[in-house]
Amino acid sequence: MNHFVFVRKHNRFVAALLSAVLLLTLLAGCAKAGSASASGSETTLEKARRLGYVTVGFAQEKPYAYQTEDGKLTGEAVDVARTILKELGIDEMRGELTEFGSLIPGLNAKRYDMVTAGMFITPDRAKEVSFANPEFTIGEAIAVQKGNPLNLHSYKDIAENPTAKIAVPAGAIEYDYLVSANVPKARIVIVPNITAALSALQSDRAHALTATGPSVQSAIDTSGSADIERVSDFQQPVVDGKSVRGYGATAFRKADKDFVSAFNKGLEELKKSGKLLEILKKFGFTETELPGSVTTEKLLESF
């Protein structure tokens, strides 16, 4: 055989062999990647970084998380999360609107990756989700019709007035506070959100509505109604001998420990830089609503 013909055939054979080996290597790599994805080894944080976005659950409650008329997702909890996520390499947040009471079930059903709704940290909720450290701390408030016709200044006043009904968003911690204050369940009007609570008050289906202070104030301001007012001397509820003051935080699934840890580091940087207070002030909070050095772990130990 001609030497050069042999060499050409040999080279083609080697090239074909190398191509086959490369193809098998690529197929094996894809199979491995597919297997890793199927087995769920990629964490929510890793997936979000790869895709460049997260889906967040929110409940249309100002000032924590809400969608504007032009479709923009905003709010205190949203802006805190958005700032931290960008530092983690996640540039986009896609909102999933739901009722407040559906946030935790939806998170655990993987309809979204995290909850940004100003949700209070409580022992019962902490059994179902993992909370990042607190972003703010606030008290409760009530709104009534102008002039406060039933003279309501506390949950105790509502409990002791047999005609008083109060509206509260489904799943909100205020429901538990009302029950602890001996308000009969039959006089607690459960509604989907703060907007519906305001509607119940305006239509006389309730004599008061309750939520956190910023939420109540935001609802009144948004309504533009001169017939609704916030009770300025509202007495904070006392549960088990302690004055109630809530701490709000972003919630994650129990399995997403790396996400919680990364988020907490970002939140700590916001505190140190003063950026957290800047964000809070945009939505009607003040320096008194800063969470200080309280961690979720320490807070849960105090209950």
CB 294 within 8 A of CB 102: no
Asked which of 8-12, 152-156, 176-180 is least confident by mean pLDDT, the reply is 8-12
Q: What percent of the chain has pLDDT above 70?
A: 87
Strand 166-169 and strand 188-191: the pairing is parallel
The Cα diameter of the chain in Å comes to 111
Going along 136-264, which residue ranges are E strands?
136-138, 140-145, 166-169, 188-191, 208-212, 228-230, 238-239, 242-243, 246-252
Cα 138 to Cα 134: distance, rounded to the nearest angstrom: 11
Closest to 244 in 3D by CA, of 126, 132, 130, 156: 156
At residue 40, the pLDDT reads 58
Residue 292 DSSP class: T
Domains along the chain with CATH numbers: 44-137+247-302 (3.40.190.10), 140-243 (3.40.190.10)
Peptide bond just before 63 cis, omega within 30 deg: yes
Cα 43 to Cα 257: distance, rounded to the nearest angstrom: 9
CB 66 within 8 A of CB 28: no
Q: Which string of b and e fits 93-103 if b means at least 16 CB within 10 Å? A: bebbebbbbbb
Q: What is the pLDDT of residues 34-80, one digit of tens each?
A: 333 434 589 999 999 999 999 999 999 999 999 999 999 999 999 99
